[in-house]
């Protein structure tokens, strides 16, 4: 495949709507770039499936975005997919610049005054070799308490799908947040308490208000969207692929969103979190793995 122009879109994918939090940060950092977002909601949640499944699915999606949409870079906006698949993706598509998402353990270790940090993650991320390596790298002076949050990403998907006024769906999400933060231990700024919380799944950003109420206003909550956006800018710049700032009167940046799941769910999430109209969303079938 010949070199792509800087006007080519950036591909972003996640197992569902969670990656919209990363897309939100990417749009803020790179407002002139074009984006293709793919929510693999038809196969979600990744965090409770095996590495083999996640790796095969991620490879099918990466190839689809590369071949069908001629993307110039790929953002893997899913912690579980990054942990399970990004080495395979880079080996299969070496010509495609890639950025993954990992729990922000290093920034948390540097920021924590009590040297005690809580981490909420999917089971797939928490049990991955990549995450174990991160813990080993940054665990010398910091104690990390890690909680696998079974069902939380799915509950967030469901609460968005059914609407903000669905009391039952929202109550389930809040109950899971309360269960998992409680399981981590005591939050606060005193010695022995956790003064920092890392969100190890892009879905969890959408529960930020709930988590803030649970852990308290003095606890720092760290997510990775802004850092991923800055890294995406760096790799595009290094590759000479940054799209120049739009000239006056130029057409606005294009954004297209696709889902392998229920279209109304993506439309509701895009409208709720990114203020994007339903017409920018479409259903899609990704070949190569069923």
Please list the residues that pair with 119 across neighbouring strands: 146, 198
Q: What is the pLDDT of residue 190?
A: 96
Told to judge if 55 belongs to the known catalytic residues of this protein, a careful annotator would answer no
| Distance separating alpha carbons of residues 87 and 17, to the nearest angstrom | 23
**CA gap 26, 116 in Å, rounded:** 30
Residue ranges and CATH numbers for the domains of the chain are 10-101+226-283 (3.40.50.1860), 105-223 (3.40.50.1860)
Contact 92, 60 (CB under 8 A): no
37: left (phi over 0), alpha (psi -120 to 50) or beta: beta
The confidence score (pLDDT) of residue 246 equals 64
* CA nearest neighbour of 116 among 215, 1, 33: 215
Q: Is 281 a catalytic residue?
A: no
| Assessment of whether the complete model's pTM goes beyond 0.75 | yes
CA 30-254-75 angle, 5° bins: 50
Question: What is the Cα–Cα distance from 195 to 117, expressed in whole angstroms?
Answer: 6
DSSP element (H, E) containing 274: helix 263-274
- 100: number of Cβ within 10 Å: 22
Coil, strand or helix at 173:
helix
Quote the pLDDT of residue 290: 42
Choosing from 55, 149, 177, 201, which is the catalytic residue?
A: 201
SS3 labels along 128-140: CHHHHHHHHHHCC
Q: What is the structure's pLDDT at 97?
A: 96
Count CB-CB contacts under 10 A for residue 198.
26
- List the pLDDT tens digit at each of the 290 positions of the chain: 556 788 899 999 999 999 999 999 999 999 999 999 999 999 888 887 889 999 999 999 999 999 999 999 999 999 999 999 999 999 999 999 999 999 999 999 999 999 999 999 999 899 999 999 999 999 889 999 999 999 998 888 887 765 545 677 788 899 999 999 999 999 999 999 999 999 999 999 999 999 999 999 999 999 999 999 999 999 999 999 998 876 555 567 899 999 999 899 899 999 988 999 999 999 999 976 44
Contact predicate 256/282, CB 8 Å: yes
Specify which residues 200 forms β-bridges with: 121
- Are 47 and 201 in contact by the 8 Å Cβ rule? The answer is yes
Please give the C-alpha separations between residue 88 and each of 54, 55, 244, in angstroms, as whole numbers.
Answer: 11, 7, 31
Catalytic residue among 55, 78, 149, 281: 78
Token pair listed for 94 = 């070496």
Number of H helices, E strands in the chain: 11, 10
């Amino acid at each position: 495949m010949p070199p792509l122009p800087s006007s080519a879109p950036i591909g972003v994918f996640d197992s569902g709507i969670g990656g919209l939090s990363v897309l939100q940060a990417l749009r803020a950092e790179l407002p002139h770039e074009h984006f293709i977002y793919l929510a693999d909601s038809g196969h979600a949640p990744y965090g409770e499936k095996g590495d083999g499944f996640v790796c095969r699915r991620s490879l099918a999606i990466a190839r689809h975005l590369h071949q069908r949409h001629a993307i110039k870079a790929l953002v893997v906006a899913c912690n579980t997919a990054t942990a399970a698949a990004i080495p395979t993706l880079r080996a299969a598509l070496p010509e495609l610049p890639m950025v993954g998402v990992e729990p922000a353990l290093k920034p948390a270790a540097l920021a924590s005054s009590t040297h005690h940090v809580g981490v909420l993650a999917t089971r797939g991320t928490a049990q991955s070799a990549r995450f174990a390596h991160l813990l080993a790298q940054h665990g010398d002076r910091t104690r990390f308490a890690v909680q696998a949050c079974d069902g939380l990403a799915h509950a967030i998907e469901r609460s968005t799908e059914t609407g903000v006024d669905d009391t039952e769906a929202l109550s389930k999400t809040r109950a899971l947040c309360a269960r998992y933060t409680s399981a981590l231990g005591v939050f606060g700024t005193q010695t022995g308490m956790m003064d920092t919380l890392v969100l190890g799944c892009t879905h969890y950003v959408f529960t930020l208000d709930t988590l803030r109420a649970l852990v308290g206003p003095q606890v720092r909550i760290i997510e990775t969207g802004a850092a991923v956006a800055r890294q995406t800018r760096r790799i595009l710049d290094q590759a000479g692929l940054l799209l120049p700032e739009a000239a006056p009167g130029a057409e606005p940046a294009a954004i297209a969103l696709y889902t392998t799941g229920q279209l109304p769910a993506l439309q509701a999430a895009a409208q709720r979190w990114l203020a994007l109209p339903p017409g920018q969303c479409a259903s899609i079938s990704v070949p190569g793995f069923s």
